[in-house]
C-alpha cells in the first residue's frame, strides 16, 4: 500500500501536466467558433484530459482525505457530463432521457453533503468551510437550472448552445480552481488559501455569464464565418 507522500510524489506531477492540458484546451474550446471544424475537437480534448486528471489525482485525494478537492472534482464531473450530454443530444433534435434526468438528483445529494461538511468545518473553526459552502451553493443552483432545462416540454431551437456553454464554463472554472488550489501554495505561498479556492469563481463567473449571453444572441460571433 502506497503512503500519501509516495502517491503524491508519483502522481501529482502527472496530474499537473494533464490538468494544464485540460485548462489550455478548455480555453481553446471556449474561444473557437462553435462549428464542426475545430470546437468539438478542442472540447473532446478538454473532457478527456479533465477526466484523466481527475482519475490520476483520485488516489491522492482519497488517501489524503481532502474533502474540499473531492467536492471540486464532483463539480467538474457534473458540469462536464451535462455539457457533453447537451452537445450530444442538441435538443430538440433528441430529448433528454431518464439517465440524463437522473444525473441531477444524484449530484444534488452529493453537493448537499459537501455543503453540510462546509457548515461543520465552520463550526469547528475552519475558515475553509466557507469554500465548501460557497461552491456547494453554486452547484445546487446549477443543478436546479440544468434540471429545469432538461425537463422542458418544448425546446427552442439552439437554446441548448447557451446551456452547453454554461456547463463547459462551469467545468472549466472548477478545473482551474483545483489547479490553483493544488499548485498555488507552491507557486504563490503568500496568497491565502480561500483566495486560491474562490478566486477563479469570483473572477471568471461574470465573464462567462456575459460570454454565454453573447453566444445566444442572433448574429453572434459563433454564427459568423
For 119-182, the DSSP string reads HHHHHTT-TTHHHHHHHHHHHHHHHHHHHHHHT-SSPPTTHHHHHHHHHHHHHHHHHHHHHHHH
> What total of structural domains would you count in the chain?
1
Q: How far apart are CA 86 and CA 27, in angstroms?
A: 19
Q: Contact at 8 Å (CB) between 80 and 146?
A: no
pLDDT per position in the chain (225 positions), as tens? 568 888 888 888 898 889 889 889 988 887 877 666 677 888 889 999 999 999 998 898 888 888 888 999 999 999 999 999 999 999 999 999 999 989 999 999 999 999 999 999 999 998 889 999 999 999 999 999 999 999 999 998 888 988 998 898 899 999 889 888 877 878 788 888 888 899 999 888 887 777 666 665 555 444 443
What backbone torsions phi and psi does residue 214 show, to the nearest 5 degrees?
Answer: -65, -40
Residue 128 in grid coordinates: 475553509
DSSP code of 219? T
Angle made by CA atoms 80, 13, 197, in degrees to the nearest 5: 50
Angle made by CA atoms 91, 139, 116, in degrees to the nearest 5: 145
Q: Contact at 8 Å (CB) between 58 and 8?
A: no
DSSP code of 38? T
Domain assignment of residue 52, given as a range: 4-223
Amino acid at each position: 500500500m502506497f503512503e500519501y507522500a509516495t502517491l503524491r510524489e508519483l502522481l501529482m506531477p502527472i496530474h499537473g501536466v494533464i490538468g494544464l492540458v485540460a485548462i489550455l484546451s478548455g480555453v481553446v474550446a471556449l474561444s473557437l467558433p462553435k462549428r464542426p471544424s475545430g470546437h468539438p475537437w478542442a472540447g473532446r480534448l478538454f473532457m478527456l484530459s479533465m477526466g484523466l486528471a481527475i482519475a490520476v489525482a483520485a488516489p491522492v485525494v482519497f488517501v489524503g482525505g481532502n474533502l474540499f478537492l473531492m467536492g471540486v472534482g464532483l463539480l467538474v464531473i457534473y458540469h462536464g457530463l451535462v455539457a457533453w450530454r447537451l452537445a450530444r443530444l442538441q435538443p430538440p433534435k433528441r430529448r433528454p432521457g431518464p439517465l440524463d434526468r437522473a444525473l441531477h438528483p444524484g449530484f444534488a445529494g452529493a453537493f448537499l453533503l459537501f455543503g453540510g461538511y462546509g457548515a461543520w468545518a465552520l463550526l469547528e473553526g475552519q475558515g475553509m468551510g466557507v469554500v465548501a459552502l460557497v461552491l456547494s451553493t453554486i452547484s445546487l443552483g446549477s443543478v436546479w437550472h440544468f434540471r429545469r432545462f432538461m425537463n422542458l416540454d418544448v425546446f427552442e431551437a439552439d437554446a441548448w448552445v447557451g446551456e452547453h456553454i454554461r456547463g463547459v464554463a462551469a467545468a472549466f472554472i472548477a478545473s482551474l480552481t483545483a489547479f490553483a488550489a493544488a499548485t498555488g501554495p507552491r507557486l504563490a505561498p503568500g496568497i491565502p488559501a480561500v483566495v486560491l479556492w474562490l478566486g477563479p469563481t469570483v473572477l471568471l463567473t461574470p465573464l462567462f455569464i456575459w460570454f454565454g449571453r453573447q453566444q445566444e444572441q442572433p448574429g453572434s460571433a459563433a454564427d459568423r464565418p
